[in-house]
C-alpha cells in the first residue's frame, strides 16, 4: 500500500496518502492478530505503546518548528546565509557541508540537532548559490549521521552497544572499519559533483546580501543563539528543553535586534502598544513561523518557513507509522518475520546481509530507528556467538543499517524529520545521502569477504560450548 501510494502521488505522498496506507495496514495487522488469538484490546495497546515511543521525537520536532521561526525572525538564519556565502566556495560547498556537519555531530552526538540548526543555514546558502537542494540535504545528512554514529554521546550509538551487551568505546572503534571508508568515498563524490556545479553569478549573490541587509540588522552577534544551542547539547542538556530554550533566546534577540521585523510580522502596531505588538510578532513566529515580504522572490521563498504548524503534517505521519509498528510488534508479526529471515543464513556474509536487510525492513515496518536497532540486536546476538563471531560485529552492523537507513524512509521518524526540517522530500535527497547508502553496502561486502569480522573471544567460546552441551 505504501508503494502504491508513492506510485500514485510521488513526493506528495507524505501529505496524506501514506498516512491512509499506514492506517489501513494497521487494521490489516490487527485482523491477522485476531486470527491467531490476539484481541483488539491487545492490538490497541500495541498501537498506543508504539505511538508513545515517538512522543519524544514529536515534541522535539514541534520545538524545532519554533526554533526555525524565531531564528529567522531574529536574524540568526539570515546571518548564517549572509556570512556563509562569503566564506564557502560553491565548488567545495557540498563536501564542506558534509565535513562541517560531521565535526559538529561528533561533538554533540545528535544528527537531528545538526540538521535543525546548521542544516537550515546550509540549505539557505545552497539556495543563494542556486545549488541543488537535494544534493545539499544529502550532504548535510551524510555528515550529520557520520558524526552521530561515532559520537559517544549519541543515543543510537549507546543503544546499539546496550542492545548487544558490548563496551561503548569498543563498539565505536569497531565501527571505524566501515564508517571511515564510506564517508571518505562520500566526500570524494560530493567534491566531484561540486567541481562541476554551476553557481549563481556574483551580482546575484550581492543582490541577495543587499536584500538581507535591508530586511535585517545583520551582525556576528546574531550567531549567539546557535552557539547557545550547540553548547547546551554538548553539555548533555536534554534535546527538547535545549531547543525550546534556544528558540526563546531567538525570540529575545528578535525583540532586541529586529523590532521592526517583529512588529511587521504582527501586522503592524495598530491599536496595540509597542510592547504588545512585539509580543504578538514573536508569538506568531513560534506557532506559524516567519513570512518574508522583501520583494526579492528568492529570499521570500527561502525565509518564509518555520513555526509549530509547519511540522503538523510530519507529526501526523509519525503517529500513523508508529501505530503500525506497535501493532506489528504486539501481534508477533514482526518477530515472526525476523525469525523467518534467519532460516537461510549459511555464512558470515549471509548473516551480515540478513542483519542489514532485517534492520532496513524493521525501519520500514516500525517507522522508528530505535526499534530497528534494539529488536534485531536482542534477537541476533546469540546467533552471532553461535557462529563464533563477536557481538561487536552485530553492534556495528546495527548502526551501519538501522541507524543510517532510517533517514531514507519517508514515514520513518528520522526521514520525516529530515524532510520537514530541510524542506526536501525524502525520496529527493535519498539518492544523494551517499554515506547512508554506502555504509550498509560496505558492511555486506566485508561480511562476504570475511574482512574485519572480529572473532568471539576464546573464553566466551568455551563458555558457550558448555552451555550448548
pLDDT tens sequence across 280-300: 999 999 999 998 887 777 778
The overall average pLDDT reported for the chain is: 86
Instruction: Give yes or no for residue 200 having a pLDDT over 60.
Output: no
Instruction: Give yes or no for residue 322 having a pLDDT over 90.
Output: no
pLDDT in tens, 349-372: 999 999 999 999 888 887 778 878
The domain ranges of the chain are: 55-310
392 burial via Cβ count (<10 Å: 0-12, 13-18, 19+) = buried
Q: How is 306-319 classified by DSSP, letter by letter? A: -SGGGGHHHHHHHH
State residue 369's pLDDT score.
85
State residue 199's pLDDT score.
60
> Who wins on pLDDT, 321 or 45?
45
State residue 458's pLDDT score.
59
Q: What is the rounded distance in angstroms from the CA atom of residue 151 to the CA atom of residue 285? A: 33
- Give 183's pLDDT tier (boundaries 50, 70, 90): very high
Cβ 110 vs Cβ 102: under 8 Å: no
pTM given for the model = 0.75
- Give 108's pLDDT tier (boundaries 50, 70, 90): confident
Residue located via cell numbers 540486536: 377
Question: Which H/E stretch holds residue 270?
Answer: none
Instruction: Give yes or no for residue 459 having a pLDDT over 60.
Output: no
State residue 178's pLDDT score.
95
State residue 303's pLDDT score.
83
Q: What is the rounded distance in angstroms from the CA atom of residue 60 to the CA atom of residue 66? A: 10
> Who wins on pLDDT, 277 or 2?
277
**Which parts of 36-167 fold into alpha helices (H)?**
40-53, 55-74, 76-87, 93-108, 111-116, 118-128, 133-150, 155-164
Task: Mark residue 270 as left, alpha or beta (left: phi above 0; alpha: psi -120 to 50; beta: remaining).
Answer: left
% of the chain at pLDDT higher than 70: 95
- Give 8's pLDDT tier (boundaries 50, 70, 90): confident
State residue 248's pLDDT score.
95
Lowest mean per-residue pLDDT among 270-274, 389-393, 406-410: 270-274
456 burial via Cβ count (<10 Å: 0-12, 13-18, 19+) = buried
* Mean pLDDT calculated for residue range 218-224: 92
- How far apart, in Å, are the Cα atoms of 255 and each of 77, 83, 120, 263? 16, 22, 22, 9
Amino acid at each position: 500500500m505504501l508503494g502504491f501510494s508513492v506510485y500514485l502521488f510521488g513526493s506528495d505522498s507524505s501529505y496524506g496518502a501514506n498516512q491512509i496506507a499506514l492506517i489501513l495496514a494497521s487494521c490489516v495487522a490487527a485482523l491477522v492478530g485476531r486470527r491467531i488469538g490476539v484481541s483488539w484490546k491487545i492490538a490497541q495497546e500495541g498501537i498506543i505503546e508504539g505511538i508513545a515511543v515517538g512522543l519524544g521525537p514529536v515534541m522535539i520536532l514541534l520545538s524545532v518548528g519554533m526554533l526555525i521561526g524565531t531564528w529567522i525572525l531574529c536574524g540568526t538564519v539570515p546571518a548564517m546565509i549572509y556570512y556563509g556565502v562569503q566564506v564557502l566556495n560553491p565548488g567545495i560547498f557540498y563536501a564542506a557541508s558534509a565535513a562541517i556537519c560531521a565535526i559538529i555531530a561528533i561533538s554533540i552526538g545528535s544528527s537531528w540537532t545538526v540538521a535543525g540548526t546548521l542544516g537550515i543555514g546550509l540549505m539557505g546558502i545552497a539556495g543563494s548559490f542556486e545549488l541543488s537542494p537535494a544534493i545539499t540535504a544529502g550532504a548535510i545528512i551524510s555528515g550529520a549521521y557520520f558524526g552521530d554514529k561515532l559520537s559517544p554521546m549519541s543515543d543510537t550509538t549507546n543503544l546499539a552497544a546496550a542492545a548487544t551487551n558490548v563496551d561503548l568505546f569498543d563498539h565505536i572503534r569497531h565501527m571505524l572499519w566501515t564508517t571511515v571508508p564510506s564517508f571518505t568515498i562520500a566526500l570524494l563524490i560530493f567534491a566531484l559533483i561540486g567541481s562541476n556545479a554551476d553557481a549563481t553569478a556574483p551580482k546575484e549573490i550581492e543582490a541577495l546580501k543587499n536584500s538581507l541587509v535591508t530586511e535585517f540588522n545583520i551582525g556576528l552577534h546574531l550567531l549567539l543563539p546557535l552557539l547557545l544551542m550547540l553548547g547546551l547539547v554538548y553539555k548533555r542538556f536534554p534535546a527538547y528543553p535545549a531547543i525550546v530554550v534556544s528558540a526563546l533566546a531567538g525570540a529575545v534577540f528578535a525583540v532586541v535586534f529586529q523590532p521592526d521585523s517583529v512588529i511587521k510580522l504582527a501586522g503592524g502596531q495598530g491599536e496595540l502598544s509597542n510592547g504588545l505588538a512585539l509580543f504578538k510578532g514573536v508569538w506568531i513566529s513560534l506557532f506559524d513561523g516567519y513570512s518574508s515580504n522583501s520583494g526579492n522572490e528568492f529570499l521570500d521563498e527561502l525565509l518564509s518557513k518555520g513555526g509549530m504548524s509547519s511540522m503538523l503534517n510530519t507529526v501526523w505521519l509519525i503517529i500513523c507509522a508508529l501505530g503500525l509498528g506497535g501493532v506489528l510488534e504486539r501481534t508477533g508479526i514482526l518477530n515472526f518475520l525476523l525469525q523467518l529471515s534467519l532460516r537461510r543464513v549459511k555464512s558470515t556474509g549471509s548473516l551480515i546481509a540478513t542483519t542489514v536487510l532485517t534492520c532496513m525492513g524493521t525501519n520500514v515496518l516500525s517507522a522508528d530507528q530505535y526499534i530497528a536497532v534494539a529488536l534485531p540486536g536482542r534477537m541476533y546476538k546469540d546467533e552471532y556467538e553461535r557462529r563464533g563471531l563477536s557481538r561487536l560485529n552485530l553492534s556495528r552492523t546495527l548502526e551501519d543499517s538501522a541507524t543510517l537507513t532510517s533517514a531514507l524512509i519517508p514515514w520513518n521518524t528520522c526521514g520525516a524529520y529530515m524532510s520537514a526540517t530541510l524542506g526536501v522530500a525524502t525520496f529527493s535527497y535519498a539518492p544523494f545521502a551517499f554515506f547512508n547508502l554506502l555504509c550498509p553496502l560496505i558492511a555486506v561486502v566485508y561480511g562476504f569477504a570475511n574482512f574485519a569480522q572480529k572473532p568471539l573471544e576464546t573464553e566466551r567460546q568455551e563458555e558457550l560450548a558448555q552451555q550448548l552441551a
